[in-house]
Amino acid sequence: MSADQTPNAVVRRLDPGRVTLVCFLLGALALLFLFEPGRYTFYPRCLFHQTTGLFCPGCGSLRAAHQLLHGHLVAAFRLNALFVLSVPAAAWFLTYWLVRPNKTKVDFKFYPALLWTALVAGILFGILRNLPFARAALAP
């Protein structure tokens, strides 16, 4: 039995899927950092907003992410509060997925109550952000 086959040896091999995902995310974050979404047309536009003139729960997420990358938390929160509040949870899930050992199965336990709460929060956020007092507060 060689030294690297001992039970106590910690051998980590890079998973190509994880490396690809990290490279893609870093590239997307660099692009978002360098090019402001409101000034460049290569970013996708919200079809719901173009059609109805109302803000969906995701409207402003790219601009909010751009502001977060530049350290402007208040500006990001004004653009999309739900996105800003969800970033820590998304970062935790991504980190958990990236650092787990290669052979272990990811076993996230999503409870129906959690999913329903997230759905209701998204719908309420979408409704509340389109009310007149909210639109006046978000106007430039």
Q: Residue 85 is encoded by which pair of tokens?
A: 């509040």
pLDDT (0 to 100) of residue 36:
94
Q: Residue 32 is encoded by which pair of tokens?
A: 């978002």
pLDDT (0 to 100) of residue 61:
94
pLDDT (0 to 100) of residue 114:
86
What are the 10-residue block averages of pLDDT along the chain, 140 residues in total? 49 73 93 93 91 92 95 94 94 82 67 90 93 68
Measured between its terminal Cα atoms, the distance across the chain in Å is: 68
Query: Which residues form the domain of 44?
Result: 3-138
pLDDT (0 to 100) of residue 5:
54
- Total domains in the chain come to 1
Task: Considering only CA atoms, give the Rg of the chain.
Answer: 20
pLDDT (0 to 100) of residue 93:
84
Quote the pTM value: 0.78
| Three-point CA angle 98, 8, 100, nearest 5° | 10
